[in-house]
Amino acid sequence: MADIKVAAYICKGCGLGERLDADALVKIAQKDGKVPLAKSHEFLCNADGVAMIKNDIANEGVTHIMIGACSRRAKTEAFFFPENAVARANLREGVIWIRPDTDEARETTQEMAEDYIRMGCAEVKAMTAPGGNTNTGTSKTLLVVGGGVTGMTTAIEASKTGYPVVLVEKTGALGGWAAKLYKRVPVHEPFKSPADTGVGDLVAQVLGDSNIKLYLNATVAKTDGAPGRFIVDIATESGATHTEDIGAIVQASGFTLYDMNKLPELGGGKSPNVVDQAGLEALAKAAAAGDGVIRRPSDNQPVKSVVFVQCAGQRDPSGTHLAYCSGVCCNTSIKQAMYFKDANPSVDTTIIYTDLRTPGNGEDFYRSAQEKGVIFTKGKVAQVVPNGATSTVKFHDLILDDTDAAVADVDLVVLATGQVANSGIDIFAAPKTEEEEAAVEVKPISILNLTYRQGKDVPQLKQGFTDSHFICFPYETRRTGIYTAGPVRRPMDIAQAREDATGAALKAIQALENAELGRAAHPRSGDLSFPKVRLEGCTQCKRCTVECPFGAIDEDEKRFPVFNESRCRRCGTCMGACPVRVISFENYSVNTVGAQIKAVDIPDEFSEKPRILILACENDAYPALDMAGMSRNEYSAYVRIIPIRCLGSVNTIWITDALNAGYDGVMLMGCKSGDEYQCHFVKGSELGRVRMSKIDDTLKTLNLESERVRDLEVAITDIERVPEMINKYAAELVAVGPSPFKGF
């Protein structure tokens, strides 16, 4: 690295010049930062300041730039030098805005700024400008798995955007669930009556589109590779296998209705006159093909009374059945009750519900059903007793608190059983014993058959649904370049599925375009850095391949990690996990952070100036700290904050280094982990915390108090809380006393 030339620039705008001694900072950069070129400027982000930097790059041979100005989150367009390594010292949000403008505070504020300059200079020297991943593919074809409403919509939308599509459908016909419906819930004014499904139109569009290559009676036998260079084997009914080059994948594998045979107390499987919602659609279709009268399956007599049982096997707190609400069944039952009322108003239709949930414009639809004479009864159905051709529905009337309420002589009972995702194999499920394995009636079949080290399918989030990042982006899964849409992601109806499909198509297109350019996808969109591994140092411990939240790393025959850069989201969890520290990014590594930690000036124990290191997640904690600055929420001048990509990227060596260097305490600020996680990398903060839970051993070997390391959950909204946490911790550390490692 002999040919690097570092330049440091100190800005005097935004009050920095008045609050800080800029000349002293320039000297610090030269003396401690050892940069050959250090300058200050009145207003660095204006045209003149940026021109000065550009001129130095062009004429002075500057390769590495350290900017001491505002937060790295501000002025990113002005300070955009893609050819150079850039570090930012946060003097504005991180120093002057969080410190009082008083004479007493001046000294510690200046010290803070000086340390950030030292840290910035040290960091930038350990960096190189990221060049982008070169192991890329150029396929622009989208693979859509599933030919239902979601899959067809994705295919049509992608094709219209100009991308070729390969559509794989397991059955012999397009249409999926929607094709089995007689009619759909209306989506247009006046929302009063069931509407045509529109499936025929979608099928015609797919069939008439030369840009969409259709495989019917086909499944995905193997998915290999990474975004931009997936190689997918498609097995067809005839036994032939077709191989396609694919850029990105949308999985629209839909749902299955919860099996009503699991509900014998509600008559499921006990009588042909107890059906699920799909069963009723079939009856309605048969009726429409005949004389329009819906008939009882047992004896073909016209149905004169029908009861709809909502939440059948759903919202079950006992854990036996589905724990969730599918959100579509109320509207569906209303629609199905109208099938009867629209044909013959004298048919008695009763919907027994506990909470009627009618999203979208369902409220109008509900009202219309009431106008048509559908009876809505708030109650919990206890039992459906089939008795010959009719049934008695026993329920607890929740308004009248009548536990013995019943509807007798019901010709047909419809159970609203809810949606179960077709998400393939649960790759993270606890391994089953042979006995348990034998007890499983239907073995799950993999949908994508990924060759990934972590498993054949996309990881599931909750209740078997494949969503992964519900907070910030819905279509993302934990497999880069593979998006899920429709009811496999969460329960939904046709209208929502079509919207979902459109979003997923656009995300998939974005992913394959980014992949071709060697850039990261969400949430570090456009990032050109990627993990580089020094394989000669690798001990084949497999931690990186197991921990990677996105399954980006496979293993070769010798168990060395094989990085698939296009699958990587650049969170750095592998880097944090690596015990021998052979994984790094060009602009983010064990060294870039380690150098910053070591660059801080540690005053001796008699100075009463403790030093606290904060490793703050750049997605939530760091913005919260910046915003605390914007709100002028003051915090201790003794903290030194280093943004990290994710708590998962924290290597324990940083903590050991910091404590050895004489820091009095270390605060780790990461996102919430666990079920209600807020981590942008889903599992990053959780994995980081597991790793940090073992830090106590390190502290013991160093003979240090456990208070010296503090793990904190910080959300982006903690603008007021974060300064309080810092100040509280600083006060606690005073009680613990100075670190015994100072001055060594």
Q: Which residues bind other proteins (CB under 8 A)?
A: 356, 366-367, 370-371, 373, 375-378, 397, 399-400, 402, 405
Q: Which is nearer to other proteins, 84 or 377 (CB)?
A: 377
Q: Which is nearer to other proteins, 412 or 650 (CB)?
A: 412
Beta strand 532-533 with 402-410 is unpaired
Tokens of 252: 């629209």
Least Å distance between CB 376 and other proteins?
A: 7
Task: Identify the burial level of 578 via C-beta atoms within 10 angstroms of its C-beta, where 0-12 means exposed, 13-18 middle and 19 or more buried.
Answer: buried
Least Å distance between CB 400 and other proteins?
A: 6
Q: Which is nearer to other proteins, 219 or 368 (CB)?
A: 368
Inter-residue contact 374 to 347 (CB < 8 Å):
no
Least Å distance between CB 190 and other proteins?
A: 16
Q: Which is nearer to other proteins, 378 or 532 (CB)?
A: 378
CA–CA dist 351, 489 (Å, integer): 28
**Beta bridge pairs of residue 711:** 668
Least Å distance between CB 398 and other proteins?
A: 9
Judge if the upstream peptide bond of residue 444 is cis by omega within 30 degrees of 0. Answer: no
- Who contacts 409 (Cβ-Cβ below 8 Å, separation ≥6)? 305, 390, 392
Least Å distance between CB 451 and other proteins?
A: 53
Q: Which is nearer to other proteins, 340 or 376 (CB)?
A: 376
Least Å distance between CB 362 and other proteins?
A: 12
Angle between helix axes 329-343 and 277-289 (nearest 10 degrees) is 30
Least Å distance between CB 368 and other proteins?
A: 11
Closest CA to 567 of 250, 228, 248, 227: 227
Angle between helix axes 103-125 and 590-599 (nearest 10 degrees) is 150
Q: Which is nearer to other proteins, 312 or 405 (CB)?
A: 405
- Who contacts 540 (Cβ-Cβ below 8 Å, separation ≥6)? 558, 559, 560
CA–CA dist 197, 184 (Å, integer): 5
Q: Which is nearer to other proteins, 338 or 726 (CB)?
A: 338
Q: Which is nearer to other proteins, 74 or 405 (CB)?
A: 405
CA–CA dist 32, 606 (Å, integer): 23
Least Å distance between CB 367 and other proteins?
A: 7
DSSP 169: -
CA–CA dist 542, 552 (Å, integer): 13
CA–CA dist 353, 187 (Å, integer): 23
- Classified as helix, coil or strand, 106 is helix
Least Å distance between CB 185 and other proteins?
A: 18
Least Å distance between CB 342 and other proteins?
A: 16
Closest CA to 423 of 469, 471, 470, 455: 455
How many Cβ atoms are within 10 Å of 440's Cβ, its own excluded?
A: 9
Q: Which is nearer to other proteins, 395 or 622 (CB)?
A: 395
How many Cβ atoms are within 10 Å of 73's Cβ, its own excluded?
A: 15
CA–CA dist 146, 687 (Å, integer): 33
Least Å distance between CB 348 and other proteins?
A: 8
CA–CA dist 530, 535 (Å, integer): 15
Q: Which is nearer to other proteins, 1 or 399 (CB)?
A: 399
Closest CA to 149 of 171, 168, 186, 175: 175
Q: Which is nearer to other proteins, 231 or 375 (CB)?
A: 375
Q: Which is nearer to other proteins, 369 or 548 (CB)?
A: 369
Least Å distance between CB 399 and other proteins?
A: 4
CA–CA dist 425, 464 (Å, integer): 9
Q: Which is nearer to other proteins, 334 or 615 (CB)?
A: 334
Least Å distance between CB 93 and other proteins?
A: 48
Inter-residue contact 9 to 44 (CB < 8 Å):
yes
Inter-residue contact 683 to 609 (CB < 8 Å):
no
| Half-sphere exposure (Cβ direction) of 119: Cα atoms closer than 13 Å | 24
Task: Identify the burial level of 304 via C-beta atoms within 10 angstroms of its C-beta, where 0-12 means exposed, 13-18 middle and 19 or more buried.
Answer: middle
